[in-house]
Amino acid sequence: RFAVPVRDFNPIHLSDWSARLLGQRSAIAHGLYSAARCLDLLRQHHPIATPFVLDVQFKRPLPLPARIVVAPVLSVFTPPHM
């Protein structure tokens, strides 16, 4: 479902079969989709003031299906002077 709106038809995201052809054990979640879902989950349980910074670090592929833990980390952001 995510491939169509962003036009990213990378085979590692489409099916287990095509992902295995490219060395993965199963299809993996798209990074932008994962980040958007995490942000959605955080916003459901924690109010987020705007503007905000979303800092995402991808450490390894997220095989599908998967369960993850999402937790907010509050920090002070100082925007650069323009």
Q: What does the pLDDT look like over 15-60, one tens digit per residue?
A: 999 999 999 999 998 888 888 888 888 888 877 777 777 778 888 8
Give the pLDDT band (50/70/90) at residue 3. confident
Of 75, 64, 71, 76, the closest CA to residue 29 belongs to: 64
Instruction: Write out the E strands in the chain.
Output: none
State whether residue 40 is helix, strand or coil. Answer: helix
pTM > 0.75: no
How much is the pLDDT for 18? 94
